[in-house]
Every structure is written in structure tokens, then in C-alpha cells.
Amino acid sequence: MKCGVILVSHGSREGGSNEAFVRLAAELRARRPDWRVESAFLDYGRPPLLEALHDLAAAGVAPIAVLPCYLFPGGRAEADITSAVDEVAKRRPDAVIRVAKPLGDHEATPDILVDEIPVEGLETPQSVVVLIAAGSVALANRDSVERLAGVIRMRSGLKVRYGYLDQGEPLVETVMSEVLSATPPYAAVLPCLLFPGLFMRDLSRAITGWRMSYQGIKIYLGKPLAEDPRLAAILEAEAKELLT
């Protein structure tokens, strides 16, 4: 019997985001044909996590590793994952289900973000890096973002700020206003987002406006992390740790 791995995402109303998530699951499946790899959603998309967990447990797959495909803790997603795992455990006491930590604290994640900074930005004195997260009011979320910012600051040698697109302080608009008003020669805006979707679309529009307003500053916008092939390797390492 194969071990089971479920990648879980919030899901999005924009199809491109869910398609990118499903492709990521396919990449992991191709890397590990000895595992049964499935994808599941918490909000927008099918199957829901509870259904995916139940199907694997009913098939006798064990152990099962649940890999949250988001970067930071502290949101409703954690409660939803815990609830689904507990529900399946009640129905099937023999099920063995283990949940990985969010990807932001993985040791390889900062490498992807630092490598996304163009050489021009790294070599231009007084460049600034701005990390952009989806948002949360949870202290655990903020602590994780600050840890990631600290690692990127150390590895890049640049000043690093961060902001939230939705909930939490500081908001992106505040941070970018402060950063751009100081007229750095180069600003690298790095989305702490795994997939394209509403947040990435809104950020792209905002970047267009800032470029028009601050034409003397080179503003670079990075890509969602799932576009980097190393993410599948990170997920593989997380799953392997849980399954052994």
C-alpha cells in the first residue's frame, strides 16, 4: 500500500490559481510515483480536504501527510485543517494523519525569494526589498513573516520591509508609500504568495500605479513561489519527514 500525501490550498475563484496548484501536485506525483498524491481545497475548489482525507483513509492508505500550501500560520486555514483531520480520525481511528508546518518556515523558502531579486537590485546600493503577504491579524503570522524578513535581510544584505494585502499591519499601501517616498534607486517587491490569483492580480495593478507615480525608481515585481521548480522538492522533503 502506498503512503498518502494531500496538498491543500485555500483555492481561488480565479481558475489560473487552482490550475497552478493542481500542476504542483502533479509535479510531486511525478517525483514520487510510490506515493499516492492528491490535491484538496479549503474554500474554492474540489475536492474539499475532508473528502480527500476520507477517501484515502477509506482505501487503507497510511500514513497520510497533509501539506498546507501556504506560507504563514495563524489563519482560519489551520483550524479548518485540524477540524477535517479530527473528523476523519473519529470515523476511522486506525487512520494515521500528520500535518506539516506552513512553508514560510522551511529552510529552503528564503533561497527562492532571495534568488528572485534581480542582480541589478542586489548590486545597487540602497536597494529595498518588500515582502508582500496575503494578511492575517494573528501574532503567529506576523512572527513568521518577521523571521522570513530577517533571513532574507541577512542573505541579501539589503533593507527588507513587509506588508499585508488584506488583514494585518502594516498594509501594503502604507509600506510602499514609506519605501518609495524615500526614493531608493531600486525596489524589489516579492510576493509571499504561492499561486496567481486575486491577490497577485491586485498587486500587479498596484505596481503599475506606483511605477507611473515614481518613475525615477526601478520597481521589480517577483513571481508567485509555485513557479519555482524547487517548491516541489520542498514539499517532497516535508512529506518524506512526515511519512517516515
At 63, give phi and psi (nearest 5°): -75, 170
At 39, give phi and psi (nearest 5°): -115, 150
Q: Do domains 3-103+229-243 and 105-226 have the same CATH topology?
A: yes
Q: Which residues neighbour 242 within 8 Å (Cβ) at sequence distance 6 or greater?
A: 63, 65, 98, 99, 100
Strand partners, 3: 35
- Domain 3-103+229-243 annotated CATH 3.40.50.2300: no
Q: What is the pLDDT of residue 58?
A: 93
Kindly give the interhelix angle for 15-31 and 230-243, rounded to the nearest 10 degrees: 60
Question: What are the percentages of helix, strand and coil residues in the chain, rounded to 5?
Answer: 50, 20, 30
The CA-CA-CA angle for residues 116, 157, 104, to 5°, reads 50
Q: What is the pLDDT of residue 15?
A: 65
Greatest alpha-carbon pair distance for the chain in Å reads 62
pTM of model > 0.85: yes
Q: What is the pLDDT of residue 77?
A: 76
The topology under which CATH files domain 105-226 is: Rossmann fold (3.40.50)
At 49, give phi and psi (nearest 5°): -55, -45
Residue 104: name the closest of 132, 154, 155, 144 by CA. 144
Instruction: Please answer whether residues 16 and 197 qualify as being in contact, where contact means their C-beta atoms are separated by less than 8 angstroms.
Output: yes
Record the cell numbers describing residue 214, joined without a space: 515614481
The domain locations on the chain are: 3-103+229-243, 105-226
Q: Which residues neighbour 87 within 8 Å (Cβ) at sequence distance 6 or greater?
A: 50
Report how far residue 203's alpha carbon sits from residue 205's, in angstroms, rounded to the nearest whole number. Answer: 5
Looking only at the bridges linking them, the beta strands covering 218-221 and 159-164 are unpaired
Record the cell numbers describing residue 139, joined without a space: 501574532
Question: What is the Cβ-side half-sphere exposure of residue 116, based on CA atoms within 13 angstroms?
Answer: 26
pLDDT by residue for the chain (244 residues), tens digit each? 689 999 999 877 776 889 999 999 999 999 999 999 999 998 878 999 999 999 999 999 999 999 999 999 877 778 899 999 999 999 999 999 999 999 998 989 999 999 999 999 999 999 999 999 998 878 888 999 999 999 999 999 999 999 999 888 999 999 999 999 999 999 999 999 999 888 899 999 999 999 999 999 999 999 999 999 999 999 999 999 999 8
